[in-house]
Structure formats: structure tokens, C-alpha cells
Structure 1
Amino acid sequence: MNRTVPNVEAARTRKWVALLALIAGILVQALNQSTIQAALPTLSQELGANFTTIQWVLLSFQITLAVVMLSVGRLADMFGKRRIFIAGNLFFGLASLLCALSPSVYFLIGFRVLQSAGAAVVTVLSMAIVAEIFPDSEKGRVLGIAAGSNSFGHFVGPILGGYLIGAYGWRIAFFILVPCAVLAALLAARYLPALSPSGTSRRFDILGATLIGATMCSLSLGLSYGQLLGFAHVYVLLLIAASAISFVAFLYAERRVAHPVLDFELFRSRPFTLHIAIAALAGIATSGVTFLLPFFMQLALGLTILQVGFVMAIVSIEIALIAPAAGYLADRLGAHRVTLIGLATLLVGFLVASTSNLDNSQLGFLLRILPMGIGIGLFMSPNSTVIMAAAPATRLGVASGLIGLTRMIGQTTGIALLGAVFASNVARSAGMPVDVTDASPLAISQAFRLQFFIVAVVIGATLLWSLKSRPEKPA
């Protein structure tokens, strides 16, 4: 018995040390996402890339992430979560090194595809491994720690990245990810327990994943080329038509496979369908303005990348602090009601942000976008709660995956679609065809303000639509 107690304590200690490996992986991904978004204007200037092309540094990553995330669970079932998690970190580190060494923006976009594949593995398996190695009595605390780590990474990333990029150039943003990813892999190899493959016979819907990837890619390409060639150009029309055909084929195929990416049975629930659609629309609206924030701050307001990093970091931590309060309110008032409050706050936030102008100081601009962050924080968690509550207990995993996929599709569509709208409005404000990166601060400012009006209309329509949903009783 004396030997048993130390063994139990050693196993418990090892389990919590293993959490460090998972947290390291989560932090690396948060640093990557938050740093690169804040650095887009700098990347555009230093790589000589126009606004349309530089969007693909984000779009290539997001599209690949959405597609690969669908297959990670199956790979883990076949080869084991620990092995795939380690490989994912190492692959991410290698891809980050290639990104840092990219000789042009086109190489960078290609290497971001590889980087995203590794990121998808780490993102999906971090939570899956937590669920497997920790008992139910500790999962809540551990998942809270993991979420806090992600928030911390999104807070530190823009500031650290802003300082390093300002001092050493854009390549350092990718170089610093390499040792971090290797460290995460080493910690996982040393401390993660051997997690055997599940041996499940569940098949991966490769056709569905391919078709949804083709849909997102062709749509994004069509919207991007539309900025350069005009939306009536034959190539643009063909790409948009290809996107529509791929999407119809995806819907057709999903009804005929045993284990579809999209489970149509879930959409028999009206609250589920409505709130998934609301999540997509809100994702389009918010991503369509948040990715533009660094461009406005650097190109119009003339802020340094470090100053941009501070603003982006404050908004990130604001969202992270609001989210737990939104969960508490959802338990007290009902998740549907808090979703409505979040949408209403987001609407007000967009309208307030539309008052931004060239006379704003860094503080003045920050104060104008803080209400938007409050709205995002209030909306996301309660809306997901409604979706999960509407799903049958046997399909909670599928519903959770669908929330993530919807969020990815919304973000990708928002960047491509509203990026095209913004570029068009910049040219209209300038009175002549001009790239965003070469436009005057006044033209960028006018288009930026109009962009917030446009997304306010989208959110306003979404709010009216969500009022049709039958609210659940407060918990």
C-alpha cells in the first residue's frame, strides 16, 4: 500500500505536467493567429503585395484549417492521438520555418497551407486529449485553463509580434514559432501518456471535405479576382459558378454517405438551424471588419505596428473577459435572450465604430471599437449553447464540429466577400482604380466607415431574424 500512494501521486503529477504540453500547443496556435493578422499591412508593404493578394495569407490558412479539421479525428483513431499530436506540432514548426524563409508572398501563401494543416491537428487534438486523460470531475477546470491559455496567447501575440516585427522585420513572426512548436512536441513526447488508437471503424467523409473545400476556395478566388478583373469578367463568373456547383454537389453527396460531414437530421430542429445560420452571418460580419482594423490603423491613422498590436490585444482580452459573464447570464436569463443582447450590442458597437475618422488618436479609436468587442463576447458562447441544447445527446460531437465548421466558413467568406466590398469602396472614394495599400488615408477612412455601416445592416437583419426563434426557458 505504501508503494501505491506514491504511484498514484506520480500518475497525477504526470497528468498535470502533460497538460503543459497541450497548453504549449494551444499557445503557439494563438500566437500565430493573433500575430499574423496584426502584421498584414506590414507584410503587404515588405513583400510588395497588393491588398487582394495579402488576404490570401489569411484565406489559405482558414480554408485549409476548415478542411483538415474534418479529418483529424479519423487520423487520431487510426494512429493514436499522442502520435498525431506530436507530428502535428513538428509539421507546424517545419511549415513555420518555410514561411519565414519565403522569397515571395506566393511562397508564403503556399507554406501557410502547410502550416494550417499542422495547426488543425494541434487545435483539434488538444481538447480531445484533455477529454481522454482527465476525469469528468477535473475536466471543467482543465478546459478553463486551456481556454485561458488561448486567451493569453491572443493577448500577448499582437504586442509581442508588434514589437519583434517592428524591430526585426516580418520573418521573425514565423521564426519564433519554430522553437515553440518543437518545445510543444518535446513536452508531448516526454509527458503525454500513450493513447492507443481507438480502433473504430468510422469512415472519414473525404468526398464531403473535398467538396466543401472546393466551394470555399473557388468562392474566395472569385471574390479576390473580382477585385482585380471586375466581377463581370468571365474568369470571375466561372469561379463563382464553380463554387455554387461544388456546394450543390456537397449537399447532394452528404445525403448519400454513411458518416457525413453535414448531418441533415440536426437541421430538423428550428432553433438549431436558425442559430447555425445566425452564427454564420455574425461570423461574416465580424471577420469582415476585424481583419481590416490593422489596415485602417496603420495606413490611415499612421500607427506603428506595436501600437496596432496593443489595440488588437486589448480587444482580444476584452472578449475573453466578457465571455464568462455571458455564460453566467445565459444560465440566469436563457442563452437565446443573451444571444439577442449580444447581437444588439454588436449592432450598437458597429454603429459607434462607424464614427471613426482620421482625427482619432490611438485611445480615441480604441474607445470606438470596444463596444464591438463586448458584443462579440456576449454573442458567441450563448449562441453556441442554444445550438448544443437543440442537438440530440447522441449527436453532440457532430453539433460541436458543425459549430467550428460554420465559424470557419463565416470567417473565410467574410474576409473574401467584405474584403472585396472594402476594396471597391476605397477605389470609389479615391475616384479612380487604386489598391488599398496605395490609397490615401482619406479614401481608406471613408471606406472603413462605410464598411461598419454595411455590417451593421447585416447584424441588424440577423437580429430581426433571431427574434423569430422561440426562446428557451431560463435555466
Structure 2
Amino acid sequence: MLRVPPFQPRSYLSAGTYQTSPEMEFMLKPVIEKPDKSGSGRIKAAPSVHWALASLSLSMLMPSLDTSIANVGLPTLAQAFGASFQQMQWVVLAYLLAITALIVSVGRLGDIFGRRRLLLIGIALFTLASLFCGVAPTLWLLLAARALQGLGAAMMMALTVAMVGETVPKERTGSAMGLLGTMSAIGTTLGPSLGGILIAWYGWETIFLVNVPLGIVNFLLAARFLPADRADRKVAQGRPDAIGTLLLAMTLATYALAMTTGHGSFGAVNIGLLLAAAFGAALFAVAETKVKSPLLRLSMFRDPSLSASLAMSTLVSTVIMATLVVGPFYLSRALGFDAAHVGAIMSAGPLVSALTGVPAGRIVDRFGAHRMAATGLIGMIAGLLLMAALQGSFAAAGYIGPLVIVTASYATFQAANNTTIMSNVTPERRGVISGMLSLSRNLGLITGASVMGAVFTLGSGTTDITTARPEAIATGMQIAFTVGALLIAVTLAIALAGFAGAKRASLSKGSL
């Protein structure tokens, strides 16, 4: 096989024959067939790469679907189990807390023991847990099954992104990331409507049991088409960091509880939980300096590009949560839409993300991740300011139009930022970095639900948003989205500073 130097990865196809660098040879291995029988000696690309991407797409779709599908079933579940609203909230929280607390740890385990192997375990665990959810006879068993389902979802979400680098060539990373973003948006969009139909026709059990056939298909695809873990993987590069894993999981779970308990109304319990989370983070940092193979090497945060990208992911997710927290109250209380119309209008955002994810990924591949990340952030600022400025104007169109701009720009930023992070990660760190990327997004969503909700409440000038006057709701919406635009402006400043630093570093390397 003819080889080219590693610094020419874009020349992987020439005259019908694959030409690869050592790392590209590994990445392309699962999609290369034997020479055809025509005698030409031509090596063809097999369709297995498409089936591998189909498996990764399902691995992103299923956890996203279960993030939103259970919400619509809470009233039915409360009636079925004779439980209170506060108890039913744990059907959602048990799932989200398990994902948030464990997503970095499972990413690291994938780096040690093999990402494909652990992804298969995650798919099987998620599928079995979904079955247990559907047949759970009591609420407490349902909650335990949801936590187990969250563990499987954490494995799928962390390792799916990490597997992209082993499935597609580097120059197609943006397109693959855009596809995964699309599947995540489709899952979020499809959840409420599919859940409503399944509950109405077949009962609440089916909102969980629908994952069983999807999981079986996904497992078979992953087992057949995902590239095998590298034979020379250094399993002995480190044992699992049990102490670090436990400390990080407890710290993240405590933080998530601090931001969700009380539904945005901070009190002594929230402050105590935040202090406990801060103390846990300090203990974790100390513990990571004492072990031979830490869960997170704190030195990686000295990389300004990685630190900036993770910070930007958290900030952008915090702001995007405002559309999900503020939007329903504004549409129903200020504009007077009923629940059906509110649901239809709110679905416009995830639908636009689903439609723009793949095109955004291709644009990133063509024009560059740095440029398109900045473009996405500028688009979000424009959309958020327009949303605040058009408050009360043009009825639903005055909200949907800016929302389309915000979500399309968000999809572009996500594809660009994910590509920036995962394209520059060494193979042995892909799992843990992918987990950190998912964690930054999750922490942003959890923080946004609390912080942006608090900004909205303060802007409305009332402690009980459900009884506020329409004018107060409208004012709160304007303030919340204006604050969101300012946060995205800060994110843009971080992005531009990071890009300038990366350019200077590249120039300095070139001058050596």
C-alpha cells in the first residue's frame, strides 16, 4: 500500500487507491475491502462506514429521546403509581443525574478498556434498563431502572463522539459531528410527540419499551460495523481511578442537585449543596495529583484551546436553555397561546437544529471550525437581541423567526466547537475528552435551567411567575434574552482570543 506523510491526511484517495498515513490507515481499516475481481487492483470503499455511522446515530438518538419522552408521561405516571408531582420529578432527575455524574468516568474507562467494547455494554445496559422501566411494578423500582438507564446513556453519549475519530477520516469530522447533532435534536424533538401518541394508544409502559427494538438493532449494527478496539491498546496504561471516579461523581451529582432543587428558588439547602460541591471539587483536584493514572490529568486544562472550547460549550448551553425555560411562560402567559400551540411553537427550535445539523457540519468542513464557530456565536447574539426587540410584535412569528436564527446558529457553533475539540485530541484521550464535552453541555443545561429561570423571575418583578401579569412576563423575557445575548458576547470574546492564541502558536511553531 502506498503511503503519504502524516501531514497530508487529505490525500487519502487518489486514482481510486487509498493512500494513508499510519493513523489514517487505522481509521480507514473498517471501510476498506479486498481488491475487486476485475483484475484492476482497485481498492473500493465498503458501505460499512455508513452502517457504522448509522449505529453511532442511533447511539446519540436513543439517550436524547429518553431525555424528553419521559416528561410528557409524568402526569400519567403520577396517576398510575399514586405519587406526588415532586416524587415524579425524580423520574427525570434520576436519569439526568446518572448521566451528569458518570459521563466523564465512562469516557476514561473507554480509553483504558476499549471504546467499542464499552459502547456495546452501554447499548445493552440501556436496552435492558428500558425493559425494566416498562415492567416496573413500583415507583422506586422505576427510579432505580431510570438511574441504570442513565448509566447506559452516559456510556453511549460519551463514547459515540469519541468513536467518530476511529470511524471517519479527519476531514469528514465536521460532517459526522453535524450528523450526531442532528440525531440529538431529532430525539429531543420527537420525544414529546412520540410519547404522547404511545401513551394515548398503548399505555405509559411503551414510552420505555420502544427503546428495546431500537437497542437490539443498534447493538447488532455496532457489533458488526464499528471498528475494533486497537490490538495494541495499552490497557496497562492505568487502572481505573476509583477514588477520583467516586469523588467526581459525588461532586457532579451534588452540583446538579443544587441547581435543580427548589426549581430555581435558592435557599439554604441549595447553598449548602453548592458548598459541598465546591469542597468535593477541591478534594478531587488534590486526589488527582496523588494517583499514578488519574481520571483527569489536570495539566490538560493548561491547553488554552481545550479550556476555551469547554467553557464556550457550557456558556452556550446555559443560554440555549433560556428558550426552553422562558419560552413556554412567555408564549402562554404573555401571548395567550394554549398548550397545544405552545408545544408546536416550541418544537420549532429542535426541528431547526435537526434540519441544519448535517449542512452545518459540511460547512464547517469546508470553511474551517474556527471561522464557523465565530459565525454561529454572532448569529446567536443577533437572534437573541431580535427576540427581545420583537417582544409582543407579529404574534407567534415574532418569536419563531428569531428562534430559528438562534437554533440554526447554535447548530453551527456546536458542529464547529465539537470538531475543534475532537480533531486535536490524541487517540488515547478521545473517550475522556468526549465525556468532558458532553459534561460541559449537560452542566450548561442544568445551570441554565436555574440561572436563566432566576433572571426571568427577577426581570418579571415577582416571586410567583404563574400569577404574574402578561406585561411583567414580557419584561422578564426581554431581560432574560438580553442577558443571554451578553453571555454569548462573552463567549465570542473567548472564542476570538482562543483563535488568536492558536494562530500565534501555529506561527511560532512554523518559525522554529
**TM-score of the aligned structures, taking structure 2 as reference length:** 0.70
Match of 1:283 in 2: 317
Please list the CA deviations of residues 315-372 of structure 1 after superposition, one character each: whole Å capped at 9, or x if unmatched.
32254156236515752xx71x543333232222222223565776554432121121
- After TM superposition, give the deviation of residue 108 of structure 1 in Å: 5.7
> For the structure 1 residues 292 and 104, does the alpha-carbon distance in structure 2 shift closer, same or farther, using more than 3 Å as the test?
farther
Match of 1:218 in 2: 254
The AA in structure 1 aligned to 2:266 is: F
> For the structure 1 residues 283 and 210, does the alpha-carbon distance in structure 2 shift closer, same or farther, using more than 3 Å as the test?
farther
Structure 1 segment 7-86 matched on structure 2, within 5 A: 12=46, 20-33=54-67, 35-36=68-69, 40=71, 43=74, 47=78, 59-73=93-107, 75-76=109-110, 84-86=118-120
- The secondary structure found in structure 1 opposite 2:291 is coil
> For the structure 1 residues 173 and 365, does the alpha-carbon distance in structure 2 shift closer, same or farther, using more than 3 Å as the test?
farther
Match of 1:155 in 2: 186
RMSD: 4.6
Match of 1:311 in 2: 348
Indicate whether 1:231 and 2:266 are aligned.
yes
Question: Comparing 249-258 with 297-306, which one deviates more in the overlay?
Answer: 297-306
Match of 2:361 in 1: 324
The one of 479, 488, 509 aligned to 1:450: 479
Structure 1 segment 123-138 matched on structure 2, within 5 A: 123-126=157-160
Match of 2:245 in 1: 209
Instruction: Identify unmatched segments of 5+ residues in structure 2.
Output: 1-33, 507-512
The one of 208, 219, 241 aligned to 1:185: 219
Question: Comparing 391-400 with 60-69, which one deviates more in the overlay?
Answer: 391-400
Contact persistence 1:214–1:246 (CA under 8 A)? yes
CA distance in 2 between counterparts of 1:282 and 1:248 reads 25
The one of 479, 488, 492 aligned to 1:463: 492
CA distance in 1 between counterparts of 2:357 and 2:122 reads 26
CA distance in 1 between counterparts of 2:436 and 2:226 reads 28
Question: Comparing 48-57 with 95-104, which one deviates more in the overlay?
Answer: 48-57
The one of 85, 95, 98 aligned to 2:129: 95
The AA in structure 2 aligned to 1:165 is: G
Match of 2:207 in 1: 173
> For the structure 1 residues 185 and 350, does the alpha-carbon distance in structure 2 shift closer, same or farther, using more than 3 Å as the test?
same
The AA in structure 2 aligned to 1:31 is: L
CA distance in 1 between counterparts of 2:423 and 2:180 reads 26
> For the structure 1 residues 308 and 110, does the alpha-carbon distance in structure 2 shift closer, same or farther, using more than 3 Å as the test?
farther
Contact persistence 2:78–2:84 (CA under 8 A)? no
- The secondary structure found in structure 1 opposite 2:285 is helix
Contact persistence 1:43–1:54 (CA under 8 A)? yes
- After TM superposition, give the deviation of residue 277 of structure 1 in Å: 2.5
Contact persistence 1:26–1:122 (CA under 8 A)? yes
Match of 2:379 in 1: 345
> For the structure 1 residues 267 and 446, does the alpha-carbon distance in structure 2 shift closer, same or farther, using more than 3 Å as the test?
same
Match of 1:375 in 2: 409
CA distance in 2 between counterparts of 1:467 and 1:23 reads 31
Structure 1 segment 190-201 matched on structure 2, within 5 A: 198=233, 200-201=235-236
> For the structure 1 residues 396 and 417, does the alpha-carbon distance in structure 2 shift closer, same or farther, using more than 3 Å as the test?
same
Structure 1 segment 396-435 matched on structure 2, within 5 A: 399-422=433-456, 424-425=457-458, 429=461, 431=462, 433=464
Larger Rg: 2
- After TM superposition, give the deviation of residue 116 of structure 1 in Å: 1.5
- The secondary structure found in structure 2 opposite 1:25 is helix
State the percentage of identical aligned residues. Answer: 26
CA distance in 2 between counterparts of 1:46 and 1:296 reads 27
- After TM superposition, give the deviation of residue 302 of structure 1 in Å: 1.8
CA distance in 2 between counterparts of 1:417 and 1:309 reads 20
The AA in structure 2 aligned to 1:454 is: V
Instruction: Identify unmatched segments of 5+ residues in structure 1.
Output: none
> For the structure 1 residues 413 and 322, does the alpha-carbon distance in structure 2 shift closer, same or farther, using more than 3 Å as the test?
farther
**TM-score of the aligned structures, taking structure 1 as reference length:** 0.75
- After TM superposition, give the deviation of residue 245 of structure 1 in Å: 0.6
Question: Comparing 194-203 with 215-224, which one deviates more in the overlay?
Answer: 194-203
> For the structure 1 residues 156 and 222, does the alpha-carbon distance in structure 2 shift closer, same or farther, using more than 3 Å as the test?
closer
